[in-house]
Structure 1
Amino acid sequence: MPAGLRRYVEAIPGTPLPHGILGASCTTVNDVTEDRIHELNGVEWLAMGCCPVQDWPDPCEEESPGEESPGSPPQKEFCRPVTEHASPITVYAGAECSTLGWTYAEAREHAEASLALGEQQGLEAAFWRTKLAMDAVDLTPAAGPVSVAQGVAALEGCLAETYGGVGTLHVPAGVAALLGCCNVLREDPETGALRTLAGNCAIIGAGYSALNTGPGNIPAEPGTAWLYITGPLVIRRGPVDTVPDTAGASVNYRTNDRRVLVERTFVVGTTCTVCAIQVVTCD
């Protein structure tokens, strides 16, 4: 074929990973309406389900104390709910190019498409860094990292002891194949969600894989990865904001470059204990 100028074509489209943090099968994603826009500044609530529900013995079935003093009668325990909160996370995509041959509409379209493809990954990385790695209880034994199946078992045990409801397993994308080979995760035929035998849902995150840090955001050692588990996730999602919103304001006349920024704010909430464990990814 004779040499010549390459032909300009449309960009290759992409699709976010289906089991990421914004997948409807594993999280509740609520689009914030104008009348509730203040929720994007952060929210707080009283935790529900973190207090234990205890049994009360039938006094008729208790053995007679005999001659010994029965002491003070047993008392039912009360739990004071704690206040939890979630802070805003803003993710963005920016497009920059020469104004020659690139219109404002094209720059805006490019930035919006970049955000649509990458916002899930960006949100996962931010949630991992600011919440999971900062609040987790480390379950890794003194002997060191465990197998993936053992790690999931320990995390589910931690969640069951502190919450008891259906929770969320947070898995770096680089570990997903190891969960499949051991049948740790199965796809729910009705919802498409990935679930463990215990019924907990799993998020497979590209943003999680990009960080792969442990409690305190300490990087994982080679050949290992970190898994986390939390209660259910509720995500508040704001509208897409474009800056600037006019063509003229997007141009830097000193350099003749055009810049368009597109961003969106999320508030990701979860509840009760965050547990973490380090697992081995290769022998």
Structure 2
Amino acid sequence: MAGIRGIVDGPDFVALPNDLWDAAQHPVPSGPHWQQGVTWTDWCGGAGTTYADECIAVTGTGGAVPAAPPIEPTASGVDRGATAFTVHAAFDCSLIGLPDVDQAAEALARNEALQVSRAFWSGQAGGQATVWPHLAADATLDDPQGIRLQTAADVVQATTEDAAVALGRLEAALAEQYGGLGVVHVPVVALATLKARSLVHRDDAGGALRTPGGHRVVAAAGYTGTGPDGAAAPAGSAWLYATGALFGYRSDIAVRDFPGTFDRSTNTVRKQASRTYLFGYECAHLAALMTLGVPT
């Protein structure tokens, strides 16, 4: 790299905001075993109402009050599972210079968030469908033990609709099916439309993007906007997804070299930096198709 021009440091790399990892809760792992996958129980469903018919009879209603209906289960426990996947960056590393870990972190930082969010949207890692659960899915999948790895997205708006209508239907379904703060997953191409319609805003706490209903918005670089069947959205539109609360694990950066790739002419050896991720979410898994652009 020697030459007549001086060697300087390039600009600092700044990661894009509204990332998938930042929107997830980060439970403290008890060890590395989460990298083999995890299982948990979701209590999905709701509550109901009833009444005490004898109390109503005393206060008077102008007629006989039927007996209160029997109380039936309103919520159910679902055993859910999630699988891990690994993001890697390979590079030719000089044996003289910066420490390996610095070079590894720099190599991963340039593309890590994009690859993580693309895997979580599509379910693809290394060209194979191995990332569960993921967003763009139209079928359920259970493992041999009956653990639910994947749910089919509940499509609340199947045809192209105004952004406000599509997002409103997502939020309404999320309120009904989950009842808590969830996550709305937005492809980058749709973010400007939502912002132009004042459908997303930054909260006062940490600057995170929120919907009118207060749900966290993820607009990750790798979100492609494809539908539950994996097909591209019609021209001028994009798919949105919503889930219950999101959690994630990730490992430290691991670096390994390949001595057989040592190049004596440049004193470099091929190295690989990698990090393993796992994501899961609660109960709701919703999809809606929205129109891009601001209507006149």
Instruction: Give the TM bin, normalised by the shorter chain.
Output: 0.7 to 0.9
Matched, 1:83 2:83: no
In structure 1, what is the Cα distance between the partners aligned to 2:262 and 2:98? 13
| Larger relative contact order (CA 8 Å, sep ≥ 6) | 1
In structure 2, what is the Cα distance between the partners aligned to 1:93 and 1:279? 34
Counterpart residue identity of residue 91, structure 1: V
Matched, 1:127 2:142: no
CA drift of 1:126 comes to 0.6
1:53 and 1:163, CA in 2 relative to 1: closer, same or farther beyond 3 A? same
| Equivalent residue for 2:95, pick from 91, 95, 103 | 103
Counterpart residue identity of residue 135, structure 2: L
Counterpart residue identity of residue 15, structure 1: V
Between 123-132 and 111-120, report the one with greater CA deviation: 111-120
| Equivalent residue for 1:224, pick from 226, 233, 237 | 237
1:55 and 1:264, CA in 2 relative to 1: closer, same or farther beyond 3 A? same
Counterpart residue identity of residue 213, structure 1: T
CA drift of 1:272 comes to 0.7
Superposition TM-score, scaled by structure 1 size? 0.82
Matched, 1:28 2:28: no
The structure in which a higher percent of residues are strand is 2
Counterpart residue identity of residue 42, structure 1: G
- Match of 1:177, SS? helix
Cα RMSD of the aligned pairs, angstroms, is: 2.7
| Equivalent residue for 2:251, pick from 232, 238, 246 | 238
Q: Verify the 8 A CA contact 2:13 2:110 in the aligned structure 1.
A: yes
Q: Verify the 8 A CA contact 1:31 1:237 in the aligned structure 2.
A: no
Equivalences for residues 1-283 of structure 1 within 5 A: 7-23=6-22, 26-30=23-27, 32=29, 35-48=30-43, 50-59=44-53, 60-61=55-56, 64-65=63-64, 74-78=69-73, 79-96=75-92, 102-103=94-95, 108=100, 109-130=102-123, 131-134=134-137, 135-141=152-158, 144-208=159-223, 211-244=224-257, 248=259, 251=262, 258-282=269-293
In structure 2, what is the Cα distance between the partners aligned to 1:260 and 1:162? 46
Count of residues in Structure 1 that have an aligned counterpart in Structure 2: 261
CA drift of 1:280 comes to 1.3
CA drift of 1:279 comes to 1.1
Structure 2: stretches of 5+ with no match in the other structure:
124-133, 138-151
Query: In the alignment, what sits opposite 2:128?
Result: none
Q: Verify the 8 A CA contact 2:95 2:268 in the aligned structure 1.
A: no
Q: Verify the 8 A CA contact 2:52 2:68 in the aligned structure 1.
A: no
Counterpart residue identity of residue 285, structure 2: V
In structure 1, what is the Cα distance between the partners aligned to 2:234 and 2:86? 29
In structure 2, what is the Cα distance between the partners aligned to 1:75 and 1:138? 33
Post-superposition Cα deviations, 1:139-193, rounded to whole Å, max 9, x if no partner, equal 224xx30121111101111111111111101011121121111111111112212
Counterpart residue identity of residue 183, structure 1: S
- Match of 1:145, SS? strand
Between 271-280 and 73-82, report the one with greater CA deviation: 73-82
Structure 1: stretches of 5+ with no match in the other structure:
none
- Match of 1:112, SS? helix
Counterpart residue identity of residue 126, structure 1: A
Q: Verify the 8 A CA contact 2:157 2:287 in the aligned structure 1.
A: yes
In structure 2, what is the Cα distance between the partners aligned to 1:280 and 1:204? 16
In structure 2, what is the Cα distance between the partners aligned to 1:248 and 1:182? 55
CA drift of 1:252 comes to 6.7
- Match of 1:81, SS? strand
Superposition TM-score, scaled by structure 2 size? 0.79
In structure 1, what is the Cα distance between the partners aligned to 2:247 and 2:234? 31
CA drift of 1:86 comes to 1.3
1:158 and 1:8, CA in 2 relative to 1: closer, same or farther beyond 3 A? same
In structure 2, what is the Cα distance between the partners aligned to 1:30 and 1:76? 35
Between 55-64 and 160-169, report the one with greater CA deviation: 55-64
Post-superposition Cα deviations, 1:65-96, rounded to whole Å, max 9, x if no partner, equal 48xxx6x8621111331111111121111113
The structure in which a higher percent of residues are helix is 1
CA drift of 1:234 comes to 0.8
